[in-house]
Structure formats: structure tokens, C-alpha cells
């Protein structure tokens, strides 16, 4: 089967196809809605391209298979949902230390996993790079980018979506990513067979120190393992990534008197609410972090330096709002206008994913913007 | 064997003995230094009090045994270390939702798990209450308090220590906690046998709605499960806990011109460094959060309102410092003076757990305190 | 890819291809030589026919996947080796009771698993039907027959081969089995979706008794589960299978003064040795059981009634020889001339798979045939 | 608690206490009736003697813990039931090869596991020594003997009982076994710490050949592993065990015209039936194999040489009867009078464990004894 060029696909399927076109040849997953669709697509499609798709027996086993396949130099991906992500946390922490450039997709049930994704749910606070597409077409582009960034930085990359991303069908176009993303380093670390070359070791357990600080080789008896080196290097790598890879979408900031911020597909609802608000005469700006980690703190800092209040909408109890507050550092008021979804069958008005609901919250905050 | 009253014990052993004296009758663990000592003590001691200690085959299995035992009404505890905690994240998230009042001990390898503990490493950001004792005697008291808070709030409680806490021997005194901690509610939720009463259900999967908003019973056909109710209630419970249970140790704040903050055993090094600094004439205050969650934000806010700079020492790459910044909101400068330990065999000067090292950092920050 | 018609293939590959042509659409396995080749072939070939191949995480998990797939009405197979078969024993025993018509391949390391296969290694002595092909072409035919017998009798079928079968390449021809094996009953037991019909239950745990012995329906209060019914029915089913399905290959029995018997590929060595012996003037007959269970006892009984001594060659310490003795019941002498292979690197002459070695043992037994 | 001397105990409890008095200090099990009682007793009792009892998460894990503990030189036992035994088959086969002298108890649900126990349910036909006590007092004695034989021969020993043995309470007396069973070799193979001595290796995977056949040391380049040596040695060991350890109980053979044979607790019913038959004037002898492996073939052969018919009663579909037929080799008729129990709620007359039922079958066989 030749590669798809253009199709009307659910976001989960679009992301899967894009991953394959980005060169992914190993995929595994355990069914859990709304990530099941990625697995189903991969199960059908991978054999057609000579790749492997495994329905693993648990997410814990899956992430370690992805570790192995990626370590052997194969572009590999796993997708799961919320609880399944929790089961991967030990391995994810270690994969950051071991520099395993895998792509991990969290098709969450809402946006409640923001902290888990961006703080590194596991031990040692070793998070991946985290990308949050807001539409099917952007999911396609994100799949390309995820594999690219993973290998560029030799660091795991997480794609954080939700049921809206997975289940909404949109027309998507697949274009070869080679044209746009730049060259990648050789995989001179891959354990892809040591015939004719020295063996390689992929490990999260420390680095062997063989040179003195002045660069001269140490006598054998003085070589040793520096167990915290991978942690210190991961911190340093995050700083370098932050300097180079932050991406954020902004609109209407020039005349804004209030800024609304959101990420993922819910950001489209927030953006639409902002547009409706502008139709009512409210001067609302819009900021959508695309890289959740590194976080576009500078964008928020600049907004806050103008004294503009910021309203943060998330489909959770308030998590990204902390990153906004850390960026703003008191320079301007930060309002949380999101919340945990209630079932549509629930009583009363909850923070549904609903542009009119967001609009109403914007009206409330806007009315008090000078009082803050 | 009668209960110990006073002994010279490693912190891990002291904590284990205190847990037993607090009524813990089920313990499980998987060996991993520095939590292994808790397991070893429990393996020997539990049979003497008619309790059960299981060396589980993995932490994932252990946390679910603790879920089961706690759910049956037995005070239960598990201890692990760093990586082992990551393996528990799915269950820990669900136990918060299911309101399972277990006690979980993370004897970390350093303090790098602060985010995992306080943000809820798992999905949905459902963290436990988190207590950080700074000495063996306080570990004893913390064991009492942990079981008390767990049942008072019907919420998991985590004790966050490190190798220093586990391995340092101190003289500890065991006193009956009944005298000091107040009454506890009946365990009217425990699945301890339904003979003669209606069955009970412990679940994280939602709440059955059987009443209309006005309190009148719904017709059967309209009853339904509100799946996000446990999440919204956990958020509300955290607010109530924050209003009632915050504990923080402070010293020398009255005349302070710089405040140093740290938690756990490293806080003792920081406190000693502050004392040395005061001997040199520097006016240093000291704040040690004992409850990491709920976090004593108000204490930091008040310090910051006086314009006092805050230096945060942690044995990690900078995690609690974010909570300090969130509390301060730009009202005063916040300096991070901690870091990831290097091996003692490493080259150069790293942020060792070393009072003189901390003192030096305090000198540096103090010198620039007015420039900030 | 169109179906293969004729190819030069290793026995393991030939068996896999034949299984697919027999309609097998689910396969799983865990690598262990010499069954790994079946897995490798299936991993490549299954996607081409729209089937599923899973590299399971253990044989224990694999056999239960096969249970599930077969129960859903899909022709399914698993292959393993010796140790891996041991791990399946609980499930295999229950699958006989539950009447799950799966095909299980034991590519053994020698012939030491004869007892495990024919006595039912697991509890309750619930063995499968056991077929032992002696060549690649017969392996092909056996794959067809195995799926046919499994569904004809609704009973698991085991194919027992060894490394010689798996690794020897021969030219094989694939012909549609529909022409030769007769009609099969409907799968009126398959749990393939209950829309529009009453649900079905596949269980090994007993049968629900709803009728009195006279056929009249029992009052509800008297219906009950007969837990040993599946065991008694399995015994009865084995008797019916024995009456209908025994297959055995014989040669030169008319003038024989000594009969040699063997099964599987080693039987080809024994047959060749018999031929060599006949060239030397010894009147040797040959019996090769193809169905090891049901065992062709009658063939041996008739030989023994003529007073002919029987020499049994197996590549183990003496297992089929017990079935021969049970058939013969003392009517003629039974000699064991097999043994456990020594490594080719071993010292001395051992019972290698070697026609000249077998010939020598036949000479010895023949010389004493009248003394027995 | 001092050792029990005399008590009225269920057979499962009596066996557990005797194991402890025989020095067992590691026990594990997974609950399954009727072996659960052994686990319950051990869970309470082991801590009192400084031993360890683990409720394992599956029988597969349990048998490997027993392997480890026994290998370290600790007398260790596991008990399970029927299905649980199937899960142990891989390990049991390997433990025979690796010469791990553990004690394994199969408290079966009936006697259907005779083949699994005596043929070695697992691969390679590597069975343990199998002992079948017929009463609580004999279970006590069997526990002593099992640990003794295990270490004497360095070979696993299985105790095969059933629900009747486990659940029937009898008065038992515990006497130190040291007086009666003879000296044991040193555990010069135990991996109990290599300080001050060369390391030891416990493995089932072959033996290292370092000497030429003439006893002279091989050059390093010629040393190698003989992978089948453990199998050949196990066969040889079984022959030595058969020569030394066969035990069988016989009664009334002198004047017998028909012999009834049975094993385990059902043998007591058969013996009582034989006694009732003698009261009716029938000359019935009685043979009860206590060692099922090695099997007392010689006893049956001598009976058969007198032409006496043998009636075999087992609570299964006919398994030991094959060993009887192999012993008799056609010299006398062998009748199977056992069967699979029907539920007491079942219709019709089944082969219940019922002396009057057995008596009736004896009358039938006796009546035709000269016609056979």
C-alpha cells in the first residue's frame, strides 16, 4: 500500500499514520479508550510497511519493549491513556536518564495528567519533552516533530492529547517531514549489532569516568561510575531544549486587556470563546502553549509585564495555571477558569468543554479586570 | 515481646516500630536500599504482634495488597524507594480517589521525588498528604500522625524520607499516640465482612447518584454514576486538609534579612548552616515545611511580604523551590541553592549535603540581598 | 500473496504454512529453539492473510490467548518446546475439559516429553489427541489433520515433533485439505457474539444439570452443577476417538522375526536401520505409531500374539516402550534400544540418532530373539 | 511455644506440624482447597520457630522460591492442589535435574493427578520420589521421611494426598525423627555463602566435564558442558532409589484368591471392604503402595505369578492400574474397579469413596475370578 497523502481521519488514526510516515516501525499498546484507536490503526497498518505492532499485556511491559526497540535504533512509539501512563512512570524516568529517544503518546481522558507529563510523574523528576497538538492536522505535524526532536536531543518526547483529539475526524494531509525539520545526528549510540565495532551500552545507571578534569586519561584504578551524572546532564539538556524548542501560538495580544490561555483541543474552544468575546467588544488575547515542556514562560512574562490579567482554561483542577503563575511571578493576576468535567448527565452547570461556558467565564473575569 | 519504650535505632527501624505501635498490622515491601531496613524490621517484628509482613514480588503488587488490607480496615503500610514509588503511581492515584487511608513511605535516594510526591506522580494529579520528618524522633511521631491523618481524612498519607533518615541512628522514645492526636471516626466504610449489615463498596470509579439536587430520591431509572465525582471531592478534601493540617517549623524570623528553607534531614544541615551564619553576624531565618502537601504557602507569603529574600536548599535540581515561588508570587527574590549530589568520589565542589557548603551559599546570597 | 503450492522448506516453516492454509488465523509463541522457526514464519506470514501473530511474553500467557481465540471460533495454534510446554500444563488440562479445539505444537528438544504429551502432563490426566509426523510432508498433512480432528471431536490436538522435524528442509506440497478430511460440525459453541441468540458459556468447571434422568426438566431449585461431568465425558470421548482415529505405519510384518518400533523423525532412522538389517538377511518388521494418543495398541497386540519380540527405539530414557508393554501384556518380549542422546562432543558411544547405531542394537536383539 | 507431642489435628495441620518438627523453615503456598489448611497452619506456626511462611502470588512463583530456599540449604516445602501443581511443572522437572531436595505436597482434589506425579508432568519425564500416606499419623511420619529422603538422595520428594487426608482429624503423635531414619550427608552443595570456600553452582543445565574418561584432567580448551548428563544421572538415580526405598503395605496375601490394591486414604476404604469381604468368606488380599515412585512392581509381580487376579481401586479414571499392568505383564488379570467421583448430588450409582461400593465391585470380580 502506498503512503496516504490526504484523508479524512480521526485524530488517533491520523497520528498513527503520520508516525508511520515519520519512520516509526515498532508500536505497542494496550487497549484503553481513547488510545485504543491508535493501536487498532497500527495493528492493521504496521504489517503493510514491514513494521511490528504488539498488543502488549500491560503498559509496563509495553514501555520496556519500546525502550528495547528504540535502543536498537528503530523509531518506536507507544500510546496509552491516563492510568496506563502511570504504569510507565518508572521506565519513563529511567529512559530520560538513559537518553532513549522514544515517542510516547498520552491520549488522556481529560487534561488531568498535565502534572504527570510535565513534572515527570516518576522518580527524580525526569520529564520528557511534551507536545500538545490541538487538532488532527497538528497531530500529524506533531508526530513528525516528535520523532525529530527525540533524535535531535536524544531524549524521549511525549505527545499529550485527549479524547477530543483522538475521536474527532478532520481532513489531514501527509507531507514528507524530511523537507522541513533539518538534519539529524547519526545514531552512534544504537545497540544495533556490534560486529566490526566496539560494543555500546545504553544505561540509565550512571556514566563511566575515565578522564581527569584536565582531560588526561585516568589510571584504570581511578576510573569509576558517576551515578548522578545522567541526572545532572538531563537538567542541562532541558535548559538547552528550552532555549531552542519552545513553540507557542498567540493571537490578538496587541490590544488585549485580558489574555485567555489553554492547551490542546480545549484551546480551540477557548480561542473560539475569545473570538465571540471580541465580537462583544471585549479585547481578549489568546496564548496556546504547544510545547508544554519546555513551557513558553517568556510569552506569559511579557504579557504580565504589561499588567494584563490572564485567564487559564484547562479541563482539570488547575495544573498548567501553576506554570503560568511561575512565569508571571505576581506581575499580573492569574485566574483559573477551568475545572474537571462533569458528566453530561450531571446536575448543574460545570466547566464543560463548551465555548459558551468559557465565554461566560471570560465575561466575568473581564468585568473585574481593573479591580484585580 | 512488650512494646519498646526507648531505644537507639536507625530511622528506618524507628519508623517501623512506631508504625506497629500506631496499630499497623499489615506491612509489605520489596527490598531496595534505603527502604530495605523497614522491611527487615517488619519481617522480624510483625509476627510478634500478630501482624503480617509480606516481602512482595514487586512494588506494584505491594501497593495493591496495601489497598486490600487497608480497605478491610487494617492499618497498613508500605515502604519503598524512588523507583519503587514510580511503580505504584497508578494505584496511588486511584487510592486517593477511592479514599484508602494507607500509609506509604518513600525512603528516597535523595530528594528528587518531591514533585512525584506532591504533584501526584500518577494520572489526574491525585496526591496523598505528604509529611517530611527531619529526624528519627520526628519519624516516630510522624508514623503516629500518618495513621491518624489517614483515617481522620480517609486519604492516603505519604512519609517522604531519604537515606539519611533511614540510616542515621538516634535515641527515640515511643509514647502512646492515643493521648495526643484526638478521636477518629468509625471505619464505617471498611469491607470487613457484611454479615448482618448491607455490603459496602470501595471504588475509585465514581459515585452512584441516587438523589436529586433537592435531596429527594431519584426514580431508579434516573440513578446513575458520576465518574468525576471522586476527583472533584478529592480537590475539595485537599482544601479542607490545607485549612487544618499545615505544619511548619520556623526559627529566627523576627530579625531575619534572609530566610533559608529546606525539608527533611537536609533541613538539619541547613538549620546548622543558618546557625553558623548567625555566628558570623548574618541575620538568617529558617523555615522547614513539615507538611509538604498541604504546603505552608502562607508562611512563605508572610516572609515575602516583608521583602525578605528566600534561599531554598534541596538535594535535587529544584522542585520545592517552585512551591516557594508559587507562594511568594514575586514579592521577594527566591534563590535556589541546592542541587543533585555528586558522588563523594566526584571531582570539583558539588552541592553536597554539607553544612559548610550551605553556609558558603548563604554567604553569597546574603552579600547580594539588597541588590535582588 | 497467493498460497504456496510447493516449496523447499524447513519442517517448522512447512508446518506453519500448512496451518495457515488450514485456516489458522491466530498464532502465538515465545521463542525457544527449535520452535522459534514456527514463530518467525508466522510473524511474517500471518499479516499477509489477515491473521494475527503475537510474540507472547510467556508460554503461560500464550496458551490462554489460544484458548480465547479458539473459543471465539478462530482456528488457532501455539508452538513451543519442552520447557515451554510444561508452563502450559494447567491450561492444557482445563482446555480438554472445556473442549477447546486448539492445535498445540511441541517441537521438543528430543523425545523426552512423550509422557507429558500422552499422559497429560497436567492435573487430572486430561491429554489432547497427539500426532507425531516423521517428515516435512507429513507435518504438512498433520497440520491439516490436526485442525480437522480438533473441530471434529472438539478436543485439543497436539503435534509432537523435535529439532529434526523443525530444522530439516524437504520439498513439500500444499493441497487443499477440504477434499479429503470430510465435513465438520458447526461451531455452535463458539463465543463469537451473542447478538440475536442466547449467550454461550465455555467452561471447564462443570456442566449444568437441568434435566432429570428421564429427560423431564428439573424444577429450578433442583438444577445444579455436576463438576466432574467434564472429566467423565473426556474419558468417554477418548474412547470414541480411539475407536475411530488410530493411525499407524507398518512395513515387512508378514515375515518378521523381530519388529522395531519408533515414532517421529527418529522412526525414519529406525526404518532405514531395519532396511539395512534386511539387507543383511535379518527379518525385521517395522511399526511407527502416528497417533501417539490414541495409541495403536492393537497393532502391537497382534504382533505379540505371533510371539514376535519388539525392539523400541526412542530418543529418551524409555517412555513409549511402556505403552508397547501395556499393549503386549507379556505376550512377547519388549526390548528398549533407545536412550537419551549424548552431545556429539561426548565420550564413548551413546544412543545417537544414527541408523548404524540402531542397526547394531537390532543385530544384538535379533541374535537372542529365540532365547527371550 | 514448645513442640507439640500429641494432638487431635486435621491431616493438613498434622503434616505441617511434622514438617516443622522435621526442620522445615521455609514454606510457601497459594490458597486452594484442600491445601489451604497447610498454608494457614504454617502462616501461624512458622514465625514461632523463626521460619518464614510466604503466601505467594502464584504457585509458579512459589516453587521457584522453594528452589531458592532449598538451594541455600534450608529445609523447604510447598503445598498445593491439582491445578496449582500443573503450574509448577517446568520448575519441578528442572529441580530433579538440578538435584534440589525440596518437599512438595500435592493435596489433590481426588486421585486424578497420579500420572502427573509419577510420570513427571513436566518435560523430559523427570519425576520426584512420590509418597502417598493413607492417614494423619502416616502423614506425620511421611513428612519426616520426605525431608530425609530428599537429602539422602538429593532429589525432590512429593507427598501425594487428597481432601480426605487434609480434612480428616485424627490423633497424631510427634516423635523426633532423628532416632529412626539414619544419618544424612553434608550439604556440600548448598549455596549458603562462599566466604572462605570456592563458590558453588546449582544448575539443571548440564555438567561441566573437566576430566578425560581415564580420569586425567582435560586441557582447558577441551573442557565442555555435557547438557544431557543431568538427565542420564536422574535415570540412574531413580534406579538406585528403586533398589533401596520401595515401601508397600500388604495384608492377607497368603490365602488370597483375589487381591485388591489402592493407595492413599481411599486405600483405607478398600482395606475395610476387603475385610468385609473376608467376613463374607471371600479370600481377598490387600496391597497398598506407599511409595508410588518407585513403584512396588515386584510385589505385584509375585502376586501375579501365583495367578491371582488383581482389582485396582483408584479415585480416577484408571492411572495406577497401568503401573500394576506393567508389573504383572499379563501373568494375571488386572481389573479396574475405581472411577471418577460423581457429586453426591449426582444421579445414579458412581464409584464413590464408599466401602460398600467397593465391596460390591469385589463381589463381582471375585465371582468371575476363575473365568478370567
Task: Please report which confidence band the pLDDT of residue B222 belongs to, taking 50, 70 and 90 as the band edges.
Answer: confident
Is the model more confident about C214 or about C248? C248
Q: pLDDT tens across D206-258, in order?
A: 877 788 878 888 888 888 788 888 999 999 999 999 999 999 999 999 999 99
Give the pLDDT of residue A349.
38
pLDDT of residue D345 exceeding 90: no
Task: Please report which confidence band the pLDDT of residue B343 belongs to, taking 50, 70 and 90 as the band edges.
Answer: low
In the block, which residue shows the cell 538406585?
A: D240
Q: What is the mean pLDDT of residues A198-212?
A: 86
Among candidate residues B45, B40, B43, the one with its CA nearest the CA of residue B18: B45
D6-175 — its CATH code? 3.40.50.970
C249-367 — its CATH code? 3.40.50.920
- Residue D149 and residue D157: Cα distance in Å, rounded? 7
- Residue A185 and residue B54: Cα distance in Å, rounded? 49
| C329 → closest Cβ in D89, D123, D329 | D329
Q: What is the mean pLDDT of residues A324-341?
A: 96
Q: What is the mean pLDDT of residues C242-247?
A: 97
Please give, rounded to a whole number of angstroms, the shortest distance from the CA of C191 to a CA of chain A.
21
Out of A235-239, A362-366, B209-213, B229-233, pick the least confident.
B209-213
List strands edge to edge, sheet with D157-162: D52-55, D26-29, D76-80, D103-108, D157-162, D129-131, D291-293
The verdict on B240 touching D (C-beta cutoff 8 Å) is: no
pLDDT of residue B78 exceeding 50: yes
The verdict on B352 touching A (C-beta cutoff 8 Å) is: no
Convert D240-258 to b/e letters by CB count within 10 Å (16 or more is b): ebbeebbebbbbbbeebeb
Query: Where do runs of H (alpha helix) occur along D83-135?
Result: 83-87, 89-98, 114-118
* Summary mean pLDDT of chain D: 93
Q: What is the mean pLDDT of residues D302-310?
A: 97
The verdict on C214 touching D (C-beta cutoff 8 Å) is: no
User: Nearest residue on chain D to C222, judged by CA atoms?
Assistant: D345
Q: pLDDT tens across A137-194, in order?
A: 999 999 999 999 999 999 999 999 999 999 999 999 998 666 568 899 999 999 999 9
As a whole-number percent, the residues of chain B with pLDDT over 70 amount to 95
Peptide bond before residue C294 is cis, with ω within 30 degrees of 0: yes
The verdict on B47 touching D (C-beta cutoff 8 Å) is: yes
Distant-in-sequence, close-in-space partners of C341: CB < 8 Å, separation ≥ 6: C110, C315, C350, C351, C352, C353, D228
Give the pLDDT of residue B255.
96
The verdict on C68 touching A (C-beta cutoff 8 Å) is: no
Q: pLDDT tens across A250-297, in order?
A: 999 999 999 999 999 999 999 999 999 999 999 999 999 999 999 999
The verdict on C124 touching D (C-beta cutoff 8 Å) is: yes
Distant-in-sequence, close-in-space partners of B66: CB < 8 Å, separation ≥ 6: B26, B28, B76, B77, B78, B102, B104
Give the pLDDT of residue C193.
93
Cβ–Cβ pairs < 8 A, chains B and D: 10
Q: Residues of CATH 3.40.50.920 domain(s) within chain B?
A: 249-367
- Residue B338 and residue B315: Cα distance in Å, rounded? 6
Where is D285: in which H helix or E strand? strand D284-289
Q: What is the mean pLDDT of residues A1-15?
A: 88
C-alpha distances in Å from residue C93, one per residue of B190, C292, D323 = 39, 17, 22
Give the pLDDT of residue B192.
94
Nine cell digits for residue C75: 482456528
* Summary mean pLDDT of chain B: 93
Contact (CB<8Å) B54/D57: no
Give the pLDDT of residue D343.
56
pLDDT of residue B186 exceeding 70: yes
Contact (CB<8Å) A235/B317: yes
pLDDT of residue B370 exceeding 80: no
Contact (CB<8Å) D61/B61: no
pLDDT of residue D124 exceeding 70: yes
Strands C76-80 and C103-108: what pairing? parallel
In the block, which residue shows the cell 548428563?
A: D229
Task: Please report which confidence band the pLDDT of residue D126 belongs to, taking 50, 70 and 90 as the band edges.
Answer: very high
* Summary mean pLDDT of chain A: 93
Q: Residues of CATH 3.40.50.970 domain(s) within chain A?
A: 6-175
The verdict on A176 touching C (C-beta cutoff 8 Å) is: no
Task: Please report which confidence band the pLDDT of residue A209 belongs to, taking 50, 70 and 90 as the band edges.
Answer: confident
The verdict on B344 touching A (C-beta cutoff 8 Å) is: no
pLDDT of residue A358 exceeding 90: yes
- Residue A354 and residue A357: Cα distance in Å, rounded? 5
Task: Please report which confidence band the pLDDT of residue D116 belongs to, taking 50, 70 and 90 as the band edges.
Answer: very high
In the block, which residue shows the cell 497382534?
A: C302
Give the pLDDT of residue D371.
66
Contact (CB<8Å) B119/A115: yes
Out of B166-170, C167-171, C220-224, D234-238, pick the least confident.
C220-224
Give the pLDDT of residue C43.
94
The verdict on C356 touching D (C-beta cutoff 8 Å) is: no
Among candidate residues C352, C368, C359, the one with its CA nearest the CA of residue C286: C359
- Residues in chain A within 8 Å Cβ distance of B114: 125
Q: pLDDT tens across C295-333, in order?
A: 999 999 999 999 999 999 999 999 999 999 999 999 999
The verdict on A186 touching C (C-beta cutoff 8 Å) is: no
Where is D106: in which H helix or E strand? strand D103-108
Output the CA torsion sign for D66, D70, D76, D80: positive
| D125 → closest Cβ in C89, C319, C345 | C319
Please give, rounded to a whole number of angstroms, the shortest distance from the CA of B30 to a CA of chain D.
13
Convert A276-315 to b/e letters by CB count within 10 Å (16 or more is b): bbbeeebbbbbbbbbbbbbbbbebbbebbeeebbbbbbbb
The verdict on B48 touching D (C-beta cutoff 8 Å) is: yes
| C54 → closest Cβ in A48, A55, A61 | A55
Contact (CB<8Å) C57/A54: no
- Residue D209 and residue D224: Cα distance in Å, rounded? 5
As a whole-number percent, the residues of chain D with pLDDT over 70 amount to 95
Q: What is the mean pLDDT of residues B200-213?
A: 85
Out of B131-135, D10-14, D74-78, D367-371, pick the least confident.
D367-371
Q: Angle of helix A36-45 relative to helix A11-21, nearest 10 degrees?
A: 40
As a whole-number percent, the residues of chain A with pLDDT over 90 amount to 83
pTM of the model: 0.89
- Residue B334 and residue B308: Cα distance in Å, rounded? 9
Nine cell digits for residue D170: 485424627
ipTM above threshold 0.90: yes
Please give, rounded to a whole number of angstroms, the shortest distance from the CA of D247 to a CA of chain C.
22
Give the pLDDT of residue A207.
78
- Residue A183 and residue A178: Cα distance in Å, rounded? 8
Task: Please report which confidence band the pLDDT of residue D300 belongs to, taking 50, 70 and 90 as the band edges.
Answer: very high
Cβ–Cβ pairs < 8 A, chains A and C: 13
Q: pLDDT tens across C259-300, in order?
A: 999 999 999 999 999 999 999 999 999 999 999 999 999 999
Give the pLDDT of residue B213.
77
Please give, rounded to a whole number of angstroms, the shortest distance from the CA of A235 to a CA of chain B.
7
| D57 → closest Cβ in B47, B48, B61 | B61
pLDDT of residue D97 exceeding 90: yes
- Residue D98 and residue A215: Cα distance in Å, rounded? 51
Give the pLDDT of residue B210.
83
Three-state DSSP state, D18: helix
Task: Please report which confidence band the pLDDT of residue C351 belongs to, taking 50, 70 and 90 as the band edges.
Answer: low
* Summary mean pLDDT of chain C: 93
pLDDT of residue B178 exceeding 80: no
Q: What is the mean pLDDT of residues D90-99?
A: 97
Q: What is the mean pLDDT of residues B201-209?
A: 85
C128, C230 in Cβ contact below 8 A? Answer: no
pLDDT of residue D348 exceeding 50: no
B173, B5 in Cβ contact below 8 A? Answer: yes
Give the pLDDT of residue B211.
83
- Residues in chain B within 8 Å Cβ distance of D48: 47
pLDDT of residue C368 exceeding 60: yes
Among candidate residues C358, C364, C309, C368, the one with its CA nearest the CA of residue C338: C358
pLDDT of residue B301 exceeding 50: yes
C-alpha distances in Å from residue C112, one per residue of C32, C83, C118 = 16, 11, 11
Please give, rounded to a whole number of angstroms, the shortest distance from the CA of D341 to a CA of chain C.
7
Distant-in-sequence, close-in-space partners of C290: CB < 8 Å, separation ≥ 6: C131, C132, C133, C134, C138, C247, C248, C249, C263
Query: Which chains border A (3 or more CB–CB pairs < 8 Å)?
Result: B, C
Please give, rounded to a whole number of angstroms, the shortest distance from the CA of C330 to a CA of chain D.
4
Peptide bond before residue D294 is cis, with ω within 30 degrees of 0: yes
As a whole-number percent, the residues of chain C with pLDDT over 70 amount to 95
Amino acid at each position: 500500500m502506498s503512503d496516504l497523502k490526504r484523508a479524512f481521519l480521526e485524530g488517533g488514526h491520523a497520528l498513527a499514520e503520520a508516525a508511520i510516515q515519520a519512520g516509526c516501525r515498532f508500536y505497542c499498546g494496550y487497549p484503553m479508550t481513547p488510545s485504543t484507536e491508535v493501536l487498532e490503526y497500527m495493528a492493521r497498518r504496521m504489517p503493510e510497511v514491514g513494521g511490528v505492532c504488539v498488543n502488549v499485556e500491560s503498559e509496563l511491559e509495553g514501555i520496556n519493549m519500546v525502550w528495547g526497540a528504540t535502543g536498537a535504533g528503530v523509531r518506536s512509539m507507544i500510546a496509552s491513556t491516563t492510568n496506563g501512563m502511570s504504569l510507565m512512570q518508572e521506565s519513563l524516568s529511567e529512559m530520560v536518564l538513559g537518553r532513549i529517544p522514544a515517542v510516547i503518546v498520552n491520549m488522556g481522558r481529560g487534561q488531568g495528567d498535565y502534572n504527570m507529563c510535565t513534572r515527570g510523574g516518576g522518580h527524580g523528576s525526569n520529564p520528557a519533552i511534551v507536545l500538545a497538538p490541538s487538532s488532527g492536522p497538528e497531530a500529524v505535524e506533531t508526530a513528525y516533530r516528535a520523532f525529530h526532536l527525540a533524535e535531535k536531543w536524544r531524549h524521549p518526547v511525549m505527545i499529550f492529547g485527549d479524547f477530543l483529539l483522538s475521536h474527532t475526524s478532520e481532513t489531514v494531509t501527509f507531507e514528507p517531514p524530511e523537507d522541513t525539520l533539518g538534519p539529524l545526528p547519526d545514531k552512534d549510540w544504537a545497540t544495533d549489532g556490534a560486529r566490526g565495532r566496539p560494543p555500546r551500552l545504553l544505561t540509565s545507571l550512571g556514566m563511566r569516568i575515565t578522564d581527569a578534569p584536565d582531560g588526561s586519561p585516568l589510571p584504570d584504578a581511578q576510573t569509576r561510575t558517576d551515578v548522578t551524572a545522567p541526572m545532572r546532564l538531563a537538567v542541562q539538556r532541558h535548559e538547552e531544549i528550552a532555549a531552542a524548542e519552545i513553540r507557542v501560538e498567540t493571537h490578538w495580544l496587541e490590544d488585549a486587556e485580558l489574555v485567555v490561555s489553554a492547551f490542546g483541543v480545549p484551546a480551540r474552544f477557548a480561542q473560539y470563546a475569545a473570538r465571540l468575546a471580541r465580537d462583544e467588544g471585549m479585547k481578549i488575547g489568546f496564548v496556546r502553549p504547544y510545547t508544554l515542556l519546555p513551557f513558553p514562560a517568556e510569552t506569559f512574562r511579557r504579557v504580565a509585564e504589561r499588567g494584563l490579567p490572564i485567564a487559564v482554561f484547562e479541563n482539570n483542577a488547575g495544573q498548567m495555571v501553576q506554570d503560568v503563575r511561575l512565569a508571571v511571578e505576581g506581575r499580573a493576576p492569574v485566574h483559573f477558569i477551568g475545572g474537571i468535567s462533569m458528566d453530561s448527565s450531571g446536575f448543574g452547570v460545570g466547566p464543560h468543554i463548551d465555548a459558551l461556558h468559557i465565554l461566560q467565564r471570560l465575561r466575568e473575569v473581564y468585568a473585574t479586570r481593573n479591580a484585580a
